[in-house]
Amino acid sequence: MTESGIVISSENYISGVEGFPLTSLNSVVRNSTNNLGLIKKATENGVTILHLGKFEVVPGDVFYSHSENLKLPVPELLLSRVVNPLGQAIDEREPIKEDGKTFDLVLNTVAPGINTREEVTEQLETGVMAVDSLLPIAKGQRQLIMGPPRSAKSYFLIECILEHMEKGGYAIMGFIMKTDSEVKQIIEQIKESGNSDKIIFVVGSLNDGSGLISLVPDTCLSLAESLRDQGENVLVVLDDMGKHAKVLRELGLLMNVMPGREAYPGDIFYQHAHLIERAGKFNKDFGGSSITLFPVIETEVESYIHLIPSNLMASTDGYLLFSQELRSKGYTPAIDFFISVTRLGKKTQNKIFAELSQMARSLFLEYREVLSFGIFASDLGEKTHQLINTGSKIDELFKQESQVRMTIHTQTLLLGFFFTEFCKAQSLDFIVKNKSKLISIFEGKTFLDLLKAPEISSSLELIKSINDKSPEISKLLETNK
């Protein structure tokens, strides 16, 4: 039975409609020109409808019931495409032919329970050594990415996506109220890598209207769940959840929802938390794979203690705080390692890499701490001078330019090399000049085989083995001049 309702009032993506006595919340309706809307609220005489897009509605127009849920094309049809939250193509290529290959986009989906989950055991390789070693992330982890503008968050996200796809995973990137130029730049950088056949771009642009923009996270996670059920590991990036919160605030105020702190809806924490909980590591009944989630939020300069960032920090398994100040000093990635946290990733590192990472972390953080106040002192002790000398070398080692990604094996060998007597005797200038050459050397089969040698079962044994090969390393460095 098709129900209908007559528009009584309409303003700013919201229509008050008289009718639809039997239709449930979040049901899909359409008008005479086939524009879609969602029933979001029941009123005394009818319902409140949220427009999914920008289209004109005037009192007297009629909406008709359309379906219980929105429909999305299956992910396989959307790979390498740029689509809106309804799965409709917005790139310059041909329209997407669904041919009946769709699935339901169920709003307010309840996250799978604990009986569907498994312990995280596998590390998500980002290709960025400072993160993989000092702040490792697990497959299935929910890791918040936050920082002010121009702190190189996008650089890191692009590296993670490209590395994940190179390792056989899929990626879904959701853009929420980003400018067209920002979206275009990121998409072009990913596609220029030549590896865009395992990613879907979901864009809620400034021109789409708040109703459509609000669906971006649901669309991204629904597509990810469809791939997860097929046994695929998926990385989902939602950029920017702060703007998503502002969209929800706008819609809540327009629909007369009781506001909470800072005029956000009273259930804003729930609305974001129930989205974040849909990621994780799942058992065989749910594909035996993972959904790793990177919610992104842009903060004020060097300040992040506000309602929405705090809510997201409480809902996730850790956070990476990017710093504009560190970026201006030439650090890439510009992550504040004193404040950033990862709660799951360390348990997924292999034994040797974990030992080397702990050694590097202790040295690196001690160096950064001394650097913050002691470098200007004239009476530094010999031990402090030695720490600054050694720390400056590992600081340089952790700087990593765009499109220079390293496998965990290469990172392990590079960290092992750093702690050799051969490297300790070298200057900072040696690291600066030879870093790229060292990466190439340790990507070679001769050194990668060291990690497979049965006699090497600890970091100290690896360090000794690499040190024994220092004449060979010196020769290779000379050859590669």
pLDDT digit string, tens, across residues 54-105: 999 999 999 999 999 999 999 999 999 999 999 999 998 898 988 889 998 9
| Cα four-point dihedral sign 190, 187, 240, 323 | positive
Local structure of 246: helix, strand or coil: helix
Distance CA 67, CA 65 (A): 6
CATH of span 72-348 = 3.40.50.300
Domain boundaries, the chain: 4-68, 72-348, 351-479
Q: What is the pLDDT of residues 18-33, one digit of tens each?
A: 999 888 999 999 999 9
Q: Reply yes or no on whether the pLDDT at 375 is more than 60.
A: no
Residue type, 433: K
Distance CA 137, CA 204 (A): 27
pLDDT for 6 equals: 95
Tokens found for residue 365: 């953080």
pLDDT for 378 equals: 57
Count Cα neighbours of 382 within 13 Å in the Cβ-side half-sphere.
0
Count Cα neighbours of 464 within 13 Å in the Cβ-side half-sphere.
7
pLDDT for 243 equals: 96
Of residues 63, 53, 54, 55, the one with CA closest to residue 16: 63
Predicted structure pTM score: 0.94
Of residues 100, 101, 78, the one with CA closest to residue 90: 78
pLDDT for 368 equals: 86
Specify the fold of 4-68.
Elongation Factor Tu (Ef-tu); domain 3 (2.40.30)
User: What percentage of the chain has pLDDT greater than the value 70?
Assistant: 97
Local structure of 320: helix, strand or coil: strand
Q: Which CA distances in Å does 320 have to 125, 157, 257, 313, 407?
A: 15, 11, 33, 10, 20
Architecture field, domain 351-479: Up-down Bundle (1.20)
Instruction: Give mean pLDDT, residues 279-305.
Output: 91
- DSSP H helical ranges for 443-469: 445-448, 459-468
Confidence of residue 401 (pLDDT cuts 50, 70, 90): confident
Q: What is the pLDDT of residues 123-149, one digit of tens each?
A: 999 999 999 999 999 999 999 999 999
Distance CA 246, CA 264 (A): 8
Q: Reply yes or no on whether the pLDDT at 163 is more than 70.
A: yes
Strand 14-19 to 4-11 pairing: antiparallel
Of residues 302, 298, 249, the one with CA closest to residue 272: 249
Q: What is the pLDDT of residues 224-269, one digit of tens each?
A: 999 999 999 999 999 999 999 999 999 999 998 889 999 999 999 9
- H/E segment holding residue 416: helix 408-418
Q: Reply yes or no on whether the pLDDT at 338 is more than 60.
A: yes
pLDDT for 302 equals: 64
Angle between the 408-418 and 459-468 helix axes, to the nearest 10 degrees?
Answer: 70
Rg, Å, the chain Cα set: 26
Distance CA 355, CA 176 (A): 39
Confidence of residue 305 (pLDDT cuts 50, 70, 90): confident
